[in-house]
Structure 1
Amino acid sequence: MTWQGLLADQRFGKPYTQEHNKGRTPFHKDYDRLIFSSAFRRMGHKTQVHSLSHNDHVHNRLTHSLEVSSVGRSLGIQVGQSLQNQPHWPSWIEPHDLGAIVQSACLAHDIGNPPFGHFGESSIRHWFASYAQQGGMTQLNLDEQSDLLNFEGNAQGLRTLTQLEYHQFNGGMRLTYATLGSFVKYPWLSNSVQCERKSKFGSLQSEKHILADIADRVGLIQQGDFQWCRHPLVYLMEAADDICYAIIDLEDGVELGIIDEQDVLELLAPITGPAEVPKRTAMVDAYYSTRRLALLRGKVIDYLVQSAAQTFMQHIPALLEGKLEGDLISHCDPITQKVIGDAKALAKNRIFLAPERHRTELAAYSVLEKLLDGFVPAALAIGEPSDDKRLSFKAEKHLALMGAHRPEQGATAYQALCCTMDFIGGMTDNYAVDLARQLSGEMK
């Protein structure tokens, strides 16, 4: 792969122009388009880790994405500064352009996530598995069934960026190929060998030709049928996400009283050194109970950013050959690997297994179950052959609620279900809860 191709500034769904506003490159415009989109705005009411939390201090998908984009920008600029004097580097790409590409990819990395975060994904998969066992997906071929049985926010994100926002089914946000390539974390389909290995995929069957177009324009190396290597900048986006995900989850755990602050301070000590404990007073205790970790966060993130950027530069040949195994963090120095690994383990063992999460996740599952029970049969009824072309009263009312996401008359079963997931997947947590409650007969 070459940087000339990987950093293509042509826009998906729009004729190419070389005329750019001075000081505001196409990559900076990508960031603006994402920031002003309704899909991005809705993330302000979507779960990061703690579903339906009443504590306004914990993170949601929007605040998490903004923080990841900030770290990603720093990573991109540092790498850009190291690369700009190398042979074959495009003369028109500045370090801040590379920073903007990674920043935009980071900003969009969770844009396809459904209500209730990763638990929402699991709930949707479980519902479709049960629906299939009842014979409810016989109208779909095996590849189409795979998309729903393995519902994936990353694939829904590509559909959101290229199909749903702004220019609907005509280029979507019309982002640059460089940004789209850096966004696609898993450039393969749900039925690929890679998906079997990683349990993740980056495109639905409905967008597979868009994925192929992106891969072709930026020059990704093909590794199978509709399967490519990753764009090198994906590793920076993923590293930024890992850094924020690991550190910020722990802060939220302390904020909610699920884990003890001292456990986190000890975990970060390889980077921060022993935490200085001030002389205790009532005022000091009140201040440091919520702020000490925030004060140390900058030092920790700075160390991890430096480590990830240096590691990226050390593996440039493997990255350009599409041969780097694992993620970037797994190749970093031992301290980086230990801190992030221990942070993820602490979150998994203490935060994700907390009783409070079990209660809210059961409630979230009930919400999604109610929505899918109503909207999926209604959407499938649109394409069902019948002597009586009229839909049932109940189906028509469900479809009316879908608004712009309502499937067109005569849509295939797969197209109708994609539209349904556009509607349900795009909901905020609060809207999903309110709508499910109303559909259950609760009028207030």
Structure 2
Amino acid sequence: MTMNWEQLLCAERLGRRPAKSEEGRSAFYSDHDKITFSGAFRRLARKTQVHPLAANDHVHNRLTHSLEVACVGRTLGMRVGNALQARGDLPEPVLPTDIGDIVQASCLAHDIGNPPFGHTGEEAIRNWFQKEGRQYLEALTEAERDDIRLFEGNAQSLRVLTTLEYYQYEEGMRLTYATLGASIKYPWTATPSVQNQRPKNNKYGVFQTELDYFHEIAHHTGLLPVGEHWYCRHPLVYLMEAADDFCYCILDLEDGLEMGLLNWPEVYDILSSVIEPAQLAELEKNLARVDDGRKPAILRGKVIGALIDAGAEAFMAHQEDFLAGRVQGDLIALCEPKVRDAVAAAKDLARQRIFNHAQRVELEIGAYNTIGTLLSTLCGAVDALLGDPEQVTYKDNRVRALMGDNNFHPSVFAKEGSYKYQALMAVIDYISGMTDNYATNLAKQFNGMGQARF
């Protein structure tokens, strides 16, 4: 049993809506535009990529990272699309550019659910609910508790796309099934992943709130079922993931150079190893003409080109395995050794010399206090509002006014179904949508240390 490209590239939209036919714009490029114009995407400009609250404007944030990943993903997708068409595997009337558009859109959206302070923000939310905030989870089911105490930015991304943006609680952005399928990096739920029953432990891509949407996406794209609430990955996920990793391995090192944490020779030694020897002489001649500050940009183009070539070649060589759901690792693991080794070396250098830099560690520790202050204030007020009306304070009502009733699922104040879970998810939605700057300033306000902004 295998997947097929006709279903995988389904252009219908979430909610079983037919694909729109627009002059000059495919249904998949419409997805790209919807994501680009969303508030959640715009806020990535003030969210951490690697360095929280970086003062250097040349250092990447989540927005610039996502745009660059989308550029690499589009080219990688088109390269694969051309190869599929040449083999006669691309169904009519799909074009190679459609593959590029789907991968580009999924790349744009891959971090759209990340909270302030990036992965540190994720850990801070988990840490608070596992310690100070664990009492708020007592009335929830095991699956609901795991969604919150093991908060995952990837699952929040699917929630943003299908629930929160545009048509709130009514299919969200209403993207195509193909783009949504290609955006779900970990197509399973939380609880089995923390019980070591999934390919990636402690990683998952679907909250209980989006479970029905998840099954709808899987059904329309023909993803193969593997277990309960678990499907194999959409093949184009591997291209999105590879584009992300390719950008990480290059651009994290560029940021390290910009901040003076790395030196040019060690970066060049790692990245140039993926370039064909025949091209190195001309490259080094061009590099010799410029100062060190301009060298990364010249090297970058050659490296990205080599990585895209390797990624497309590996994908096509293993196409049947992707369609059969047999691939357990990532696309980079299937690339030629020099590419695998270079990506691994780049990540190792970044981990040793950038991620553990003292100033970054200091800011990460501060992020825990910021997130903790926000969660304590918001969860305490929301919990009171759902309890005895006689115990609700003026402060609780002011918190509700700050968040806005429109940010809560209709079941919350009607006290229907899993309304306490929905209420906590609304708090997490509110915080995860914040920028680093807003979260920091709001926590100061909550502590009585802020300044008036009007």
Aligned to 2:330: 327
Alpha-carbon contact 1:14-1:174 (below 8 Å) kept: no
Distance 1:171 1:348 in 2: 38
Structure 2 CA distance for partners of 1:132 and 1:279, relative to 1, 3 Å: closer
1:437 counterpart (436, 441, 444)? 444
Alpha-carbon contact 1:13-1:174 (below 8 Å) kept: yes
Aligned to 1:30: 31
Question: Which stretches of structure 1, 4 residues or more, deviate above 6 A after TM superposition?
Answer: 277-280
CA deviation after TM superposition for structure 1 residue 406, in Å: 4.3
Aligned to 1:138: 138
Identity rate, percent: 46
Aligned to 1:207: 210
Alpha-carbon contact 2:287-2:295 (below 8 Å) kept: no
**Are 2:385 and 1:382 equivalent residues in the alignment?**
yes
Alpha-carbon contact 1:33-1:173 (below 8 Å) kept: yes
Structure 2 CA distance for partners of 1:339 and 1:188, relative to 1, 3 Å: same
Distance 1:168 1:191 in 2: 26
1:368 counterpart (361, 368, 371)? 371
**Are 2:354 and 1:354 equivalent residues in the alignment?**
no
Aligned to 2:235: 232
Q: What per-residue deviation string (whole Å, max 9, x for no partner) do you get for residues 169-210 of structure 1?
A: 111000000000000001100012455743210010111111
Distance 1:305 1:382 in 2: 53
Alpha-carbon contact 1:75-1:99 (below 8 Å) kept: yes
Once the two structures are overlaid, the 10-residue window that deviates more, 138-147 or 396-405, is 396-405
Distance 2:429 2:342 in 1: 37
CA deviation after TM superposition for structure 1 residue 22, in Å: 3.4
CA deviation after TM superposition for structure 1 residue 267, in Å: 1.1
Aligned to 1:11: 13
CA deviation after TM superposition for structure 1 residue 162, in Å: 0.4
Aligned to 1:409: 413
Distance 2:385 2:425 in 1: 13
Q: Structure 1: any 5+ residue segments left out of the alignment?
A: none
Distance 1:223 1:363 in 2: 41
Aligned to 2:244: 241
Q: What amino acid maps onto 2:47 in structure 1?
A: K
Alpha-carbon contact 1:143-1:190 (below 8 Å) kept: yes
Distance 2:231 2:390 in 1: 44
1:420 counterpart (417, 420, 427)? 427
Once the two structures are overlaid, the 10-residue window that deviates more, 415-424 or 359-368, is 359-368
Q: What amino acid maps onto 1:429 in structure 2?
A: D
Alpha-carbon contact 1:189-1:195 (below 8 Å) kept: no
Distance 2:226 2:390 in 1: 46
Q: What per-residue deviation string (whole Å, max 9, x for no partner) do you get for residues 142-176 of structure 1?
A: 11110111110010010100011111111100000
Distance 1:382 1:204 in 2: 24
Q: What amino acid maps onto 1:269 in structure 2?
A: S
SS at match of 2:226: strand
Q: What per-residue deviation string (whole Å, max 9, x for no partner) do you get for residues 108-150 of structure 1?
A: 00000000001110111111110355x3321111111101111
After TM superposition, the structure 1 = structure 2 runs for residues 41-440 of structure 1, keeping only pairs within 5 Å, are 41-87=42-88, 89-131=90-132, 135-193=135-193, 194-195=197-198, 197-272=200-275, 273=280, 276=284, 288-384=291-387, 386=388, 388-389=389-390, 391-403=392-404, 404-406=406-408, 408-411=412-415, 412-440=419-447
CA deviation after TM superposition for structure 1 residue 410, in Å: 3.7
Q: What amino acid maps onto 2:5 in structure 1?
A: W
State TM-score, norm by structure 1.
0.94
CA deviation after TM superposition for structure 1 residue 443, in Å: 3.6
Q: What per-residue deviation string (whole Å, max 9, x for no partner) do you get for residues 251-285 of structure 1?
A: 001111112222101112313448748999xxx8x
Distance 1:355 1:124 in 2: 22
Q: Count the aligned residue pairs.
A: 435
CA RMSD of aligned residues (A): 1.8
Distance 1:345 1:351 in 2: 10
CA deviation after TM superposition for structure 1 residue 62, in Å: 0.4
Distance 2:294 2:89 in 1: 46
Distance 1:67 1:278 in 2: 24
Q: What amino acid maps onto 1:35 in structure 2?
A: T
Alpha-carbon contact 1:114-1:424 (below 8 Å) kept: yes
Q: Structure 2: any 5+ residue segments left out of the alignment?
A: none
Distance 1:103 1:426 in 2: 22
CA deviation after TM superposition for structure 1 residue 217, in Å: 0.7
Alpha-carbon contact 1:383-1:410 (below 8 Å) kept: no
Distance 1:198 1:230 in 2: 16
Distance 1:143 1:306 in 2: 41
Distance 1:86 1:67 in 2: 29
SS at match of 1:427: coil
Q: What amino acid maps onto 1:409 in structure 2?
A: F
Structure 2 CA distance for partners of 1:198 and 1:443, relative to 1, 3 Å: closer
Structure 2 CA distance for partners of 1:381 and 1:196, relative to 1, 3 Å: farther
Alpha-carbon contact 1:131-1:137 (below 8 Å) kept: no
Q: What amino acid maps onto 2:75 in structure 1?
A: S
SS at match of 1:216: helix
CA deviation after TM superposition for structure 1 residue 14, in Å: 5.3
Distance 1:277 1:397 in 2: 64
SS at match of 2:13: coil
Alpha-carbon contact 1:14-1:171 (below 8 Å) kept: no
Alpha-carbon contact 2:133-2:376 (below 8 Å) kept: no
Distance 1:155 1:41 in 2: 19
